[in-house]
Amino acid sequence: PPPLTTATAKHFVAYSLDRSPPRLEFDPKIDEGWLRSYYLPAFKSVVDAGVSSIMCSYNGVNGYPMCASPMIQSVLRGEWGFKGYVASDSGALSFFLPQYHNFSQTGEEAAAAGLNAGVDLNSGSTYISHLNTSLAMGLVNQSSIDKAAARLFKSRISLGMFDPRERLGPLAHLGEEHLATPEHLALALEL
């Protein structure tokens, strides 16, 4: 049977610097040496190990919110050959707007910045609310949307989400009624 879950490494990159407000607009300047010797190696390790997805963080680095950072394409996909999908932290693309990072002026620009940087999955409403208009305005192209969708569906296919239930093995019969049962709750309390 296929695996039941995938792993997501987060938060790409330098998220640990964000120790106090204003966390949604934090944008440290980090030189290349520090990035490569301290902040990037953990992500390189998980990419080398075959992690399925990477989550970009709220913070910025060197003038770019991380979910709009050129490092997604140049380092993550380019240098390291990452083939999985990139997901935004929850609501991260909406923090591109003037009241936070002041990187994008509109939701359409924020959606385009995320997709064009290589964010395949937006955890939040920015893509749902604005990506069609971004496409109509010419801020993104259909090819970029297709590439993002292909990476997402590759992950879903690898999890057997479109396979017949009998191929999924002994756990295929489990449903919501099997979650948080009294037995599970009692065991959790014991642990």
Active site residue 89: yes
> Token digits for 183?
């037995």
**Cα–Cα nearest to 135, from 124, 125, 151, 146:** 146
Q: How far apart are CA 65 and CA 153, in angstroms?
A: 26
Please return the burial class of 33, using the count of CB atoms within 10 Å of its CB with bins 0-12, 13-18 and 19+: exposed
Dihedral sign computed on CA atoms, order 59, 132, 138, 151:
positive
Catalytic residue selected from 89, 120, 146, 163: 89
Shortest CA distance to 91 belongs to which of 107, 71, 70, 69? 107
Q: Just list the catalytic residues.
A: 89
